[in-house]
Amino acid sequence: MKQTPFTQAIPIALIVVLGAAATVRAERTLKHLEHATGKFVYFVVAPDALKGRKDLPVLVYLHGIGSAGATTDVMLQKEGIIRRAERDKQFPFILVAPQASSHWGSNNNIDRAIAALDRVLTDYPCDKDRVYLCGFSAGGFGTVACAKKYPMRFAAISPVAGASDSAAKAVAHIPIWVFHGDADPTVGVGSSRSMVAALARSNATELRYTETPGLAHSTRNAWGKHLWEWLLTHRVSELKRQPMQPRMIDAPNWHNMPLEVRFILDRRGAPSLPPMGSPPAALRSTVSPLRSGRYAEAREKLRALLDAPDTLGEANRRTAEKLIRHIDDHEQRLESQARSLSEHADYGTARFLLETLKRQYRGAESAKRAEETLASWRSDPQMRKEIKAGEMFAKIQKQATSMPGDQAIKTYEGFLKRYGDSKAAELARKEIKKLNKSK
């Protein structure tokens, strides 16, 4: 019989789960690879259902810190996705699971993961246009770091319970689905919220976020048919070419998020624009400013089209009028929200909204008023002090969302020692009271 990567793999006859036998539907192979930075190991799981195909999709999985440098038995025990790939007849990928020596961002671990992927692409009949990346916990942070370093290798990515907003701009062109539980005591949910907000600010091509109430440090809301099917709709060849997709945010406890994150992500916090993937030719000139958040410019273009006789048909005219109404409403809510926040001493978020207003509505009267407000704040010594306190409060509030309760209380108490006479101090006292109540 001709030897193939499948027949060369070490077959696993059965797995004992809670004393019962589970049928294995895949072959798992432990491979060793010599890299310029040293030797390392990786698992390859090739599901039976994929045998005989010549266009196999590939999923690279980056493990959590508990498997770094551990024995392979420990890695198999901890990383449930490997067992799922072996047993789940619906698992549609060849799974590549390299082992890091430590955190993924150190010791060339990311380069080694790519080396393992390249070897699998050579040894198996894979489709290089359908290569995907996911990771859990430290592997979630590693997923974002790997996509940043190799921005054109993966058709879509999914970090679970771990993500870094510092790489958002570099990976915004890659479709991404972020998962987290809001009761995670190991990696606070604030990391994923900040990442998703940063992606939204960077105009991510396709952004999905699932935040599960009451879920601790787990992949339970991520691994499954819903994610596999979504990944497979994307291709490497489509990177940087596909139109922007509507954001999909599934977070029932939305009200617990910091206001800055809510504002960026909430579909009510931006113009409710219809999909513009294939706009009518008559409205095509407005697509670029709409997608890039230059709403004042887009509004002027839409008004010019409406003023030109016979430029638009009736359907396009209604669409243009609707867009203008949504943009007007968004502009008014931005200004109103900033005013309300400054009245409640949340100058950090108010300043963020005013800067957003200046950027998105450049040249409009609202942007001029925003600049005048910011200039008056900068020129008043007392206001500068209040702003500094407000911005510091916004910063620690953001940090506190990813801290255990006692640590968050200590952080707010430290703020009070320094800014106890500011308007923001009352907000800190309310947060402490809320945290003490939840104990």
pLDDT in tens, 208-248: 989 888 888 999 899 988 899 999 999 999 898 776 676 77
Angle among Cα 365, 370, 375 to the nearest 5 degrees reads: 125
Residue with the larger pLDDT of the pair 406 and 367: 367
33 within 8 A of 117, measured Cβ to Cβ:
no
Per-residue pLDDT reduced to its tens digit, 353-377: 888 889 889 999 999 999 999 999 8
Query: CATH homologous superfamily of domain 5-269?
Result: Alpha/Beta hydrolase fold, catalytic domain (3.40.50.1820)
User: Which residues, 6 or more positions from 32, have their beta carbon under 8 angstroms from its beta carbon?
Assistant: 39, 40, 41
3-state secondary structure 388-414: HHHHHHHHHHHHHCCCCHHHHHHHHHH
189 within 8 A of 261, measured Cβ to Cβ:
no
- Residue 13 to residue 360: CA distance in whole angstroms: 60
φ, ψ for residue 3, nearest 5 deg: -85, 125
The CATH number of the domain covering residues in 281-379: 1.25.40
pLDDT given at position 21: 36
- Give the pLDDT band (50/70/90) at residue 398: low
403 within 8 A of 410, measured Cβ to Cβ:
no
Residues 150/220/177/198 CA torsion (nearest 10 deg): -90
**Axis crossing angle, helix 365-379 with helix 347-360, rounded to the nearest 10:** 140
Whether the predicted model's global pTM rises above the 0.75 cut: no
- pLDDT surpasses 70 at 416: yes
Strands 94-98 and 38-47: antiparallel
Across the range 298-321, mean pLDDT stands at: 82
For residue 145, the Cα-to-chain-centroid distance in whole angstroms is 12
- Give the pLDDT band (50/70/90) at residue 146: very high
Across the range 366-389, mean pLDDT stands at: 89
φ, ψ for residue 335, nearest 5 deg: -65, -45
Residue with the larger pLDDT of the pair 51 and 192: 192
Distances (CA, A) of 180 to 60, 212, 336: 19, 6, 32
Beta bridge partners of 39: 34
119 C-beta neighbours (distance < 10 Å), count: 15
Counting residues of the chain whose pLDDT is more than 90, the rounded percentage is: 25
